[in-house]
Structure 1
Amino acid sequence: MTKPAPGPDQPPIPVRLVTFNTHHGVGADDRHDLPRLAKLLASVDADVICLQEVDRRYGERSEDVDQALLLSRALDMQLAWGPAIDEERPGDQPRRQYGNALLSRLPILISDVHRLPGSGEPRSALRTMVELDGGALWITATHLTTRSAQERAAQVSAIAGLHTEPMETGVLVGDFNTEPDAPELDVLRERFTDAWQLARARDDQAGWRFWQSDAGNTHPARSPHRRIDQVWVSAGVAVAGAYVLDAEGASDHLPVVVDLEVRSGV
């Protein structure tokens, strides 16, 4: 898909975005270590960070802390929250939640949560719009099911339907639990482009995997051979670079960083 070039009087707006499945803050050493995760995220110097498998007072596995709030405070970023699991607890205890979080140093103007179809573990999509200096960017973050291609196809169709024609600058990101060329993602390819393929520069910056520097694989972190963590962009967004970073043991996935160029004046 060919991206229209911005006019000479309206240069594109750079936005650095990260998507990362955090495995509820538990790393390869089986330790819950939120400061380690926060340090890794801070090192990327991103404008927007999309996180999957985030706990909020979920229980013992993550020390019953509000991970979304603590990370937003540690990074001094705004927070949008999209629970997939949302359960009451006895008495006046905070709700037990798990889902998608978006952290942004850009103003968040819109944030809403959409339940996705399917059985088994509940899934959701977090749709936000962030304000840019001279434009706006729609970001929908999600974590698709592992159960079947059919259920993923239904979820992808619902997510694609959240991005309407007036939303010329948009991205869909997250853990898709399938490869980007999978048939169940056909509906995305009708209107979106795989950012990894579109990027003018791309690299796996975990140096010990130099032989697959152009592969973009993100899972499992110790020996990645699947590219299931992805970013898809609409026609109003170009991609200067895409990078897979070393998670430094913070998760069972690797983070993906994309340097976007968003059409201005939208």
Structure 2
Amino acid sequence: MRMGGDDIRGPRGERPWGAILAALLLGALLAGLSLPRIGAHASLVPAAAAVAALDSGAAIEPAALQAAYAAHDAALAWQADDPQLRRDRARIARRLSALADANENTDPAEDGRVDVLSDATALREAALADLRLAAAAAPGDGLTWALLADAGLNAGVSLEDVLPALRLARLTAPRRASALLLQHRIVMRHWTAMPDEMRAHALADLPALWRRGQLRGFLVASYLDAGFAARAAFRERLSEDPRALPQFDRLLSAALGT
């Protein structure tokens, strides 16, 4: 016996073609919407190790960096407005620009073109452009604002012009360690030119950053990158914890190889 409630046909034995067509169209729409994300993620597979190394501060082979940059180019062809893709490609470009500066390898190829991945100036400008787009797409991301400020200074933008980005980094990420650490490094490096508020923020953040043991190596690097006045203020602030300064000096000694 056929139960009427189990029959997908209508009361006259007709199938509900309208509902079936609507379901098929909805499925096609969802598949179409997800395709760019799937394509972008698939493109990023070769970049995974390089991005992880950027996060940890580990060394990366130049070939791996170039492959990661190319992977992000491909991913952005699928999702041009993705702020994280823009941010990560900018970070890769910054590392490549540092390598290009070290190698000073900007000679043109046989066809007269300069390889963009060995042109330090082009890479710095590309990083800055990507971070501007990322900040516009994700204005509440404090790390992106901090990266934008740092990239601007690296590309020759004046401190006065990057201060708005630096202030937005603090406003939007007042407790995010990665954003605070980068702000601290920027302020330490440009200590004498920084407004009093920025120096005060950097010193106020120092104890909390120090308590995160995994960040101490970055603080040592920040200290070594700073001038005398910044180092003096750093040591005075850290000495408020009687154990912190001796611990820091042991790390500093190890970093200097003494």
What is the TM-score of this pair, normalised by structure 2? 0.30
Q: Which has the higher helix share?
A: 2
Q: Which has the higher contact order (CA 8 A, sep 6+)?
A: 1
Q: Which has the higher strand share?
A: 1
